[in-house]
């Protein structure tokens, strides 16, 4: 099987890229020219996983089938997990797929390409902390978030019927994921309590543990301070400058002592897959493919984007964010279309930081917006920040569904929530 353009990984960046290319090439040329491969059969925008984990978003309502997205956007889709790459022969090997009973669904396959893009995203970085992989929940895939949500629901029920009437959750890492998850869990708890009798209500104790001196360490100090204040006002215990040295089944061990918890979530950093080191490409310590400022790996006609790519940005690397994956997808769409038409596209990729927004629950957000050319930094908070945060999600849907379908979907979900409630309890 041969395709002109193969995109491996249909996440925030890869799916937008395949959709842009497919729509540009149209119904006639798109499906025979562009192939998207993903190990999953449905797409969910990763920045919503903390909502899936808290039960305030249903992954199966939110998820969009790749097969349908492919048809709408005129590209081809194949399920599969990349297990091998021959960069010189330009061939990708996909592993065999089996069902739950162990029966083979699809055998191992090889696909050849003229141009390929790796958009494999990233997973968790445990920094070698003993017990973290065994005992902590992570939010890498929709299935991780759903697993946590099932266990959270059981823990909620247990707490409602227990004598001590309390539930302790410890979150390691106070970056955007840890902070947003804390806020969403508070929201889920508040919604749940509304449905309980007074004698079933229980206390939720969230402890957010961060090794750095402040939460949201990568964002401006004003945002950290506002977010910490908002969380502490809702009784979240925020511990900064507290490195976790061990994770046990029921506690975190830190230099300052042990923190008991019923559930532990690890959100302390990202690292790309170990399997990336076996693809014959140059990778950095975080297993990201090293690319130049044109997103080229060292191999012929092979690019990488998003979290799995180490792309230079001045002295630093482009941050692992959805907005970076989105910008890189737009850039590569132009490059690949130009190459298809045998035109040159020499301009390098330039990352533009438009600022950062953090959700602090249903009606609250906080963030900073960068002015033109990195100019003045505007601080936003409250409902406006929350709406702007939500508009990023809508923008992603617009890129893969078009404006009309995005509006219909947003309205349908609003109505669904009105009828079924905001919290998923089954």
In angstroms, what is the minimal distance from the CB of 145 to ligand FAD?
A: 8
In angstroms, what is the minimal distance from the CB of 196 to ligand FAD?
A: 27
Q: How far apart are CA 116 and CA 181, in angstroms?
A: 35
In angstroms, what is the minimal distance from the CB of 123 to ligand FAD?
A: 9
The stretch among 173-181, 290-298, 340-348, 406-414 that binds ligand FAD (CB under 6 A) is: 173-181
351-380: contacts with ligand FAD (CB under 6 A): none
322, 333, 335, 385: residue in contact with ligand FAD (rule CB under 6 A): 322
Say whether residue 52 binds ligand FAD (CB under 6 A).
no
Q: How far apart are CA 400 and CA 311, in angstroms?
A: 24
Q: Which has the closest alpha carbon to 235: 196, 195, 192, 190?
A: 190
DSSP string, 297-364: -SSTTEEE-GGGEE-EETTEE--S-HHHHHHHHHHHHHHHHHHHTT----PPP-----EEEEE-STT-
33/78 with CB nearer ligand FAD: 78
The stretch among 4-12, 277-285, 346-354, 367-375 that binds ligand FAD (CB under 6 A) is: 4-12
CB neighbourhood size of 270 (10 A): 18
57, 92, 176, 223: residue in contact with ligand FAD (rule CB under 6 A): 176
Say whether residue 155 binds ligand FAD (CB under 6 A).
no
Which residues make Cβ contacts (< 8 Å) with residue 115, sequence separation at least 6? 4, 5, 6, 301, 302, 303, 336, 339
49, 152, 239, 401: residue in contact with ligand FAD (rule CB under 6 A): 49
145/159 with CB nearer ligand FAD: 145
In angstroms, what is the minimal distance from the CB of 82 to ligand FAD?
A: 4
Say whether residue 321 binds ligand FAD (CB under 6 A).
yes
Q: How far apart are CA 151 and CA 138, in angstroms?
A: 13
Say whether residue 40 binds ligand FAD (CB under 6 A).
yes
The stretch among 42-50, 203-211, 292-300, 410-418 that binds ligand FAD (CB under 6 A) is: 42-50
In angstroms, what is the minimal distance from the CB of 47 to ligand FAD?
A: 3
Residue number with the smallest Cβ distance to ligand FAD: 11
Say whether residue 227 binds ligand FAD (CB under 6 A).
no
- Using CB under 6 A as the criterion, what x/- string covers residues 131-150 for binding ligand FAD? --------x-----------
C-alpha torsion 290→292→297→299, nearest 10: -130
Q: How far apart are CA 356 and CA 379, in angstroms?
A: 10
CB 270 within 8 A of CB 91: no
78, 177, 368, 406: residue in contact with ligand FAD (rule CB under 6 A): 177
Say whether residue 171 binds ligand FAD (CB under 6 A).
no
CB neighbourhood size of 287 (10 A): 19
273/409 with CB nearer ligand FAD: 273
Cα-Cα-Cα-Cα dihedral sign, residues 60, 61, 62, 67: positive
Q: How far apart are CA 193 and CA 205, in angstroms?
A: 14
Q: How far apart are CA 356 and CA 380, in angstroms?
A: 10
CB neighbourhood size of 4 (10 A): 18
Say whether residue 8 binds ligand FAD (CB under 6 A).
yes
CB 125 within 8 A of CB 270: yes
Residues in contact with ligand FAD by the rule CB under 6 A: 8-14, 37-40, 46-47, 49-50, 81-82, 119-121, 139, 176-177, 180, 306-308, 320-323, 325
């Amino acid at each position: 099987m041969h395709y002109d353009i193969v995109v491996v990984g249909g996440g925030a960046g890869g799916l937008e890229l395949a959709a842009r290319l497919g729509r540009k090439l149209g119904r006639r040329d798109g499906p025979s020219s562009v192939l998207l491969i993903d190990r999953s059969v449905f797409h969910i925008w990763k920045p919503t996983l903390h909502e899936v984990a808290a039960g305030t978003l249903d992954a199966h309502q939110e998820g969009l089938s790749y097969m349908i997205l492919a048809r709408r956007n005129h590209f081809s889709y194949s399920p599969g997990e990349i297990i091998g790459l021959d960069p010189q022969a330009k061939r990708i090997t996909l592993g065999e797929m089996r069902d739950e009973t162990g029966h083979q669904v699809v055998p191992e396959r090889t696909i050849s390409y003229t141009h390929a893009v790796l958009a494999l995203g990233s997973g968790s970085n445990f920094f070698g902390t003993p017990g973290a992989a065994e005992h902590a929940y992570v939010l890498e895939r929709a299935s991780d978030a759903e697993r946590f949500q099932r266990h959270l629901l059981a823990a909620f029920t247990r707490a409602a019927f227990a004598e001590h009437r309390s539930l302790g959750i410890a979150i390691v890492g106070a970056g955007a994921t840890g902070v947003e998850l804390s806020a969403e869990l508070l929201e889920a708890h508040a919604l749940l309590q509304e449905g309980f009798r007074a004698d079933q209500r229980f206390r939720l104790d969230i402890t957010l543990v961060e090794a750095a001196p402040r939460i949201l360490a990568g964002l401006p100090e004003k945002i950290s301070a506002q977010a910490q204040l908002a969380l502490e006002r809702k009784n979240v215990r925020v511990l900064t400058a507290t490195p976790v040295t061990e994770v046990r089944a029921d506690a975190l061990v830190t230099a300052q002592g042990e923190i008991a918890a019923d559930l532990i979530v690890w959100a302390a950093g990202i690292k790309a897959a170990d399997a990336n080191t076996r693809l014959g490409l140059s990778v950095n310590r975080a297993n990201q493919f090293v690319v130049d400022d044109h997103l080229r790996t060292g191999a012929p006609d092979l690019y990488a984007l998003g979290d799995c790519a180490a792309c230079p940005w001045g002295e630093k690397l482009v941050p692992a964010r959805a907005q970076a994956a989105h910008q890189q997808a737009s850039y590569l769409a132009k490059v690949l279309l130009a190459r298809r038409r045998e035109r040159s596209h020499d301009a390098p990729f330039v990352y533009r930081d438009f600022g950062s927004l953090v959700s602090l629950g249903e009606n609250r957000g906080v963030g900073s917006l960068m002015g033109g050319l990195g100019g003045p930094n505007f601080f936003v908070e409250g409902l406006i920040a929350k709406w702007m945060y939500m508009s990023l999600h809508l923008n992603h849907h617009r890129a893969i569904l078009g404006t009309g379908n995005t509006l219909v979907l947003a309205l349908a979900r609003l109505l669904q929530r009105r009828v079924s409630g905001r919290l998923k309890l089954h």
